[in-house]
Amino acid sequence: MNGYYRLMAAFLLGGITVAGFAPFYFYLLPLVTLTLLALLWRRSKTAIQAAVTGFAFGMGLFGAGVTWLYVSLHDFGHMEPALAVLALIVLCAYLSLFPALAGWVTALRWFRASWAWPGMVAALWALMEWLRGTLFTGFPWLTLGYSQAPDSPLAGFAPVVGVYGVSLLLMLSAAWLACWLEKRKKYRFGLYLAGVWVMGFGLQQVHWTEPEGEPVTVSLLQGNIPQNKKWEPEHLAATMRTYVRLVQESPSRLIVTPEISFPLYYDQAPRDYLQLLAEHARSRQGDVLVGLVERTLADDGYYNTMFSFGSSPEQSYRKYHLVPFGEYIPLKAVFGWVIDVLHIPLSDFSRGKLDQPPLDLAGQRVAINICYEDVFGEEIIMKLPQASLLVNVSNDAWFGHSIGPRQHLQISQMRALETGRYMLRATNTGVTAIINEQGEVLQQLEMFTTAGLHSTAQGFSGATPYVRLGNSLVFGLIGLLLLAGGGAAFSGRYKTL
């Protein structure tokens, strides 16, 4: 295959991989596309050729998978179309450097012929995904492990090794399959592949956590406030009427509104209005969570905050993991001009503390994460095993009618799997949903409707291995695979694949 067709094939494979994620959930598709990518890497004549192939795969994956960013930048951020496209291309190019680096290393002659090559590929892929999700505050969207939630047998490993571990096992499966296809007589690769997937199925039958107490009634409110009107002062009264109606129609003990449901500073919110919400919650012996902007005189900062009102003492949670260029501007001396290009309200939030405890609400210990925060599983588990419920509040109206909100829902499904907890999602325009501890969506509201989702949620206690150990297990596995690959290659045993 000449260079042009190789790059086109890799690009198309990356784009097709997106169908493995929500809203399509074709979880076997990434196994196929990664297998073909591995074959392209094995047949690369040079490490540079393999790196370019990995880069092309990444451009296809991210180019097709994060197109919703254009909606945020152009439709709601009012960035010029050409500049928004350029920004998206630059981001995709940066993200594609990580699969490029993985391809470059695994195509080196010493590693490619080693019996440990499949493990090397898997370890480097998982390591690159972790780096992508960590460097410069991280962008772990489209981590391939998410594509396996919740139905793939590999999802059984999520409570043990987390999403990066699932990515590692997915790529390991693809590398084994590639070697099996390349060397038809090496049946052991097929046996390895079957063994891992059967083990994953077995792990899906394990209950790592246990129900605690009686289920609590919950109401998740979806105000469906248009993003282009949300911050207009003349639309504020309509927003407040919508939410007071939704709250008063809620029959539940725990009522949750979305992220910044009222575009107001907490100190400016009418006290009688908040008291009205609190009284309704108290009449149900429960609490209501309300999203507001909190500002402090001490440090002249403001925070994306969820406040509770009702039977329990008033509590709050401040968002910790902020979105670069959306909620704060990194390196203002260099990127301060972005504020003039992107017309995003309140684009310079302050950061809350990382170690904020769960809130005691409606008889549950509720761990709140706001919007983008649920992409970082290693931060979510810091509130466990103390928390009995997870709550994600979001405003995915920024992504319009794209696939972004559905992808975000699948990320929440992975968090439920990793922690063995229900995840309750209250969003402005969708997807508002109740996800059980197996990562299954039990109920959801239709997107872009104004409604409340009224049901029950079960609190859980106990801890999965991932909650107890975090990413240490997958790091240990990465280390062992890299040591095995390096040792086999440099000991002269690289002709035994």
Contact status, residue 112 vs residue 42, Cβ threshold 8 Å: yes
- Measured CA to CA in angstroms, residue 65 lies from 144, 146, 274, 476 at distances of 11, 13, 40, 30
Query: Is 319 considered catalytic here?
Result: yes
Written as one string, the DSSP assignment of 60-81 is: HHHHHHSTHHHIIIIIIT---H
Burial (CB < 10 A; 0-12, 13-18, 19+), residue 178, is buried
Characterise 318 by phi-psi region: left (phi > 0), alpha (psi -120 to 50), beta (else). beta
Choosing from 92, 319, 383, 437, which is the catalytic residue?
Answer: 319
Choosing from 371, 383, 418, 437, which is the catalytic residue?
Answer: 371
Q: ∠24-29-33 over CA atoms, to 5°?
A: 135
Residue 405 and residue 400: Cα distance in Å, rounded?
8
Sole residue written with tokens 């630059």 = 90
Helix (H) or strand (E) holding 341, with range, is helix 338-341
Q: Is 366 helix (H, G, I), strand (E, B) or coil?
A: strand
Strands 389-394 and 364-370 turn out to be parallel
Choosing from 129, 259, 294, 418, which is the catalytic residue?
Answer: 259
Contact status, residue 279 vs residue 244, Cβ threshold 8 Å: no
Q: Is 299 helix (H, G, I), strand (E, B) or coil?
A: coil
Characterise 141 by phi-psi region: left (phi > 0), alpha (psi -120 to 50), beta (else). beta
Written as one string, the DSSP assignment of 213-256 is: SS-EEEEEEE----HHHHT-GGGHHHHHHHHHHHHHT--SSEEE
370-382 residues labelled b (16+ CB within 10 A) or e (exposed): bbbbbbbbbebbb
Helix (H) or strand (E) holding 301, with range, is strand 301-310
Sole residue written with tokens 């107890």 = 468
Residue 5 and residue 2: Cα distance in Å, rounded?
6
3-class SS shares of the chain: helix, strand, coil, % to 5: 55, 15, 30
Strands 364-370 and 316-318 turn out to be unpaired
Query: Is 179 considered catalytic here?
Result: no
Query: Is 440 considered catalytic here?
Result: no
Active site residues: 259, 319, 371
